[in-house]
Amino acid sequence: MLRHGKGGVTLLHQGRALTRCYATETGKLAAKLVAQALGVEFPLEGDSVEATVSTGVLYRAISISSIDMRITEVWPLVERLLVEAEEQRD
């Protein structure tokens, strides 16, 4: 489950937080990319969205959430993780 609260977006599994993207500019960007990796719509604040994905997709979503998006050199890696997540969802 991807839950969007005041403090940011949290990726949960069975009620436990796996990762969190804080409500900063880079955190919001990372959260949108996590939603994209999971193949779900980005939830509005106060909402959540369910996602059923493989562990490979989950691994890539968590990896994306931990990357510092301010570093321009990481973008090829982010793009690769997104492509791999999409391929694994199909």
Q: What would the pLDDT profile of 12-60 be if each residue is shown by its tens digit?
A: 999 999 999 999 999 999 999 999 999 999 999 999 999 999 999 999 9
Q: How many CB atoms lie within 10 A of CB 15?
A: 6
AA identity, residue 57: V
- Yes or no: say if 83 and 39 are a contact pair by the CB < 8 Å rule: no
Mean pLDDT of 78-85: 98
The crossing angle, in degrees rounded to 10, of helices 75-89 and 25-38 is 30
Residue 50 CB contacts under 8 Å (≥ 6 apart), including other chains:
1, 40
What is the pLDDT at residue 90?
A: 82
Please give the residue range of the domain that contains residue 24: 2-89
What is the pLDDT at residue 39?
A: 97
What is the pLDDT at residue 5?
A: 97
Q: What is the pLDDT of residues 1-13, one digit of tens each?
A: 999 999 999 999 9
Count of domains for the chain: 1
